[in-house]
Amino acid sequence: MDDGTLKASGQSVWEQDNPFSLNNSLILETGDKADQIHISQTRPGQLDIRVNGQLYRFDSDDKDGTPLTFHLKTHGGNDNIHIDTNVTQPITVDAGDGDDRVRAGGGYTRLFGGNGNDVLHLGSGLGYAEGNDGDDLIFGGSGDNVIYGNNGNDRLYAGAGPKSKTSYLDGGNGNDRLYAGNGHTVMHGGAGDDRLIGHDRTTFYTGSGSDAVVANRPGDLIYAEAGDEIAHLNGSALTTVTIDQTSLEGFVIKGSAAFVQRVEDDLALLRSSPQGKQMLAEMNAIARRNGAPVTIVEDLVDAGSGYVYGSQELKTLLQYEHAPVVGDDPKWGFMVDGVPGSQADRAEISYNRSALDTQAGVTFSPITGLYHEMVHAWNAANGTAFTGSTAETFDGESHDVPNSERQAVGLPTSAPPFDFDNDPATPSSNTNPKPFTENALREEMGKPPRPQYVG
């Protein structure tokens, strides 16, 4: 459908050799003028979308009864988009160029401001927002949220909500103001002269620049440079850090300009994180040893983040039509009988920068997922991925979880202990050591450890 006011098209993502689609989306696009858009739900199973006074009605579920993801692209112009609070449909909004105003509803919502000075409001559902270029004003809703200001002098507010609420704020480049909210907030100032203000329990990463922190509660965690201003320490734990300014050799980023900037924002936090700095330094050393970095690529089909093993050895086998390598073969970087396997030197991380996953009521920020995949990259580059599986129980059912996943989280496995640091004076372990676990970063951020992989 394309009537000159609204263009509608569908998109389905399928897994190879799988009859079921991973996700189905309805893509709605307007033109480059200033659009007024209102999304509401007045009857079950349908959404009403009014564009510049013209009403359109769409089914909210696919033919299998699964809710569609609505993807709204408004392109240029100073757009105004309002989603009613009773709309719980998963919705992504790309506001495009212009000074846009977007207000989310009650479902899982992802907002991208684009170029311009935007005002974005998240809602009561899971929320993700990027300001992109421009001086943006972004408000978190009552649901768990993740907010990135990106480039520009931004103001980010985690917002009010229940005590269980979690927020993640990243100012990016520019002189930003970050305000914590209810529950637990992790905030990163990024590059520039930033001001970070706590509220309920808060973890502060000041980033580079001349920054100021206003802590609010005993037990807050502060990672700041020596010259930063710390006001009202109030029993907070202050860790003085030196930003890692070395060139990044362990990773290369491929994707759109917005994706590259977003990944660089995450890497900037890791450069000021005690755990992250160790990870980046080790991956730099591995890239020099193995002769290649890990490539971080953009997940363009919303399939989720993941690690893909790759090596010149496997490429050569395929070139000469050798039998395929399957299972826990050491050529996939797995250890066998305590002997490390092959080392990955052509690996990729596919990163979905806006995916928010939940487990047992806990929301996982995208940077946590990226770090998890970096751990896989570290194991594969050393040939130290565990074989076998460990049983986990979820909803009364037993699941065989690959030991390679549990060791990446930092959980005990059924695998024989291994001496990861090659030091007889330290004990061997059946899981990865710090900092090479997801839970190491979660602990540093003041978050609860991930208790299991399935959930």
pLDDT in tens, 332-348: 999 999 999 999 999 99
The per-residue pLDDT for 415 is 98
The per-residue pLDDT for 22 is 63
The per-residue pLDDT for 317 is 81
Helices and strands, number each (H, E), in the chain: 6, 32
What are 200-204's contacts with CB under 8 Å, separation 24+? 200/163, 201/446, 203/445, 203/446
**Buried/exposed 136-167: b ≥16 CB within 10 Å, e otherwise:** bbbbbbbbbbbbbbbbbbbbbbbbebeeebbb
**Phi-psi category of residue 64: left, alpha or beta, with phi > 0 → left and psi -120 to 50 → alpha:** alpha
The per-residue pLDDT for 11 is 79
d(CA 230, CA 220): 12
Neighbours of 119 (CB within 10 A): 17
Q: Are 358 and 325 spatial neighbours (Cβ–Cβ below 8 Å)? A: no
Helices 257-272 and 366-382, axial angle in degrees (round to 10) = 80
102 burial (CB, 10 Å; 0-12 / 13-18 / 19+) is buried
The per-residue pLDDT for 16 is 57
Planar angle of CA 390, 395, 396, nearest 5 degrees: 70
**Buried/exposed 223-235: b ≥16 CB within 10 Å, e otherwise:** bbbeebebeeeee
Which amino acid is it at 298?
A: E
Q: Where are the domains of the chain?
A: 7-240, 251-444
- Regions of the chain short of the pLDDT cut 50: none
The per-residue pLDDT for 20 is 53
Q: What are the strands, taking DSSP E only, across 171-283? A: 177-179, 184-188, 195-197, 201-205, 212-214, 221-224, 229-231, 237-240, 251-254
DSSP state, 61?
A: B
The per-residue pLDDT for 262 is 98
d(CA 360, CA 394): 10
d(CA 62, CA 65): 5
d(CA 377, CA 248): 15
The model's pTM is 0.95
